[in-house]
């Protein structure tokens, strides 16, 4: 699902997720609405000016449970979880999004909103993940 919305404008991505019947679309739609609301609150721009610059899903912790089986045996159950990351950035004023779907390097925006956390970005520097404990 995140492959479908990566690189799209936030408004068109919300429309895409709204009419998709997959269960993951509801979760990603809720996360995108949260990121857009945070970006609007930080005055990065309107919904039409925001682009999903990065979107990826990583594996999260797995809960290990057991299901009783025949003859006193136990069958394992793995309840998997995921970490979803959406990074929404504002388009520079007066610039349009590239028409091709290939990833192109655009001048670094002043800041990015990563699922509610503002991460300042300077050219050539890596973004620091502020979601992890210190």
Q: What is the mean pLDDT of each run of 10 residues along the chain (134 residues)?
A: 90 92 92 91 84 92 95 95 91 59 48 50 48 48
Cβ–Cβ under 8 Å, residues 44 and 36: no
56: helix, coil or strand?
strand
Other C-beta atoms lying within 10 Å of the C-beta of residue 112? 21
- What is the pTM assigned to this prediction? 0.63
Residue 44 pLDDT: 82
Query: Which CATH superfamily groups domain 2-54+89-120?
Result: Ribosomal protein L22/L17 (3.90.470.10)
Cβ–Cβ under 8 Å, residues 123 and 132: no
Residue 107 pLDDT: 47
């Amino acid at each position: 699902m995140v492959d479908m919305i990566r690189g799209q404008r936030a408004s068109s991505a919300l429309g895409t997720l709204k009419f998709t019947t997959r269960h993951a679309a509801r979760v990603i739609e809720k996360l995108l609405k949260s990121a857009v609301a945070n970006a609007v609150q930080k005055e990065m721009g309107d919904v039409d000016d925001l682009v999903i610059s990065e979107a990826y899903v990583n594996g999260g912790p797995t809960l290990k449970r057991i299901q009783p089986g025949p003859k006193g045996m136990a069958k394992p159950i793995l309840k998997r979880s995921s970490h979803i990351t959406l990074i929404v950035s504002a388009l520079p004023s007066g610039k349009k999004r590239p028409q091709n779907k290939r990833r192109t390097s655009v001048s670094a925006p002043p800041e990015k909103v990563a699922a509610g956390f503002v991460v300042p970005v300077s050219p050539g520097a890596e973004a620091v993940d502020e979601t992890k404990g210190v």
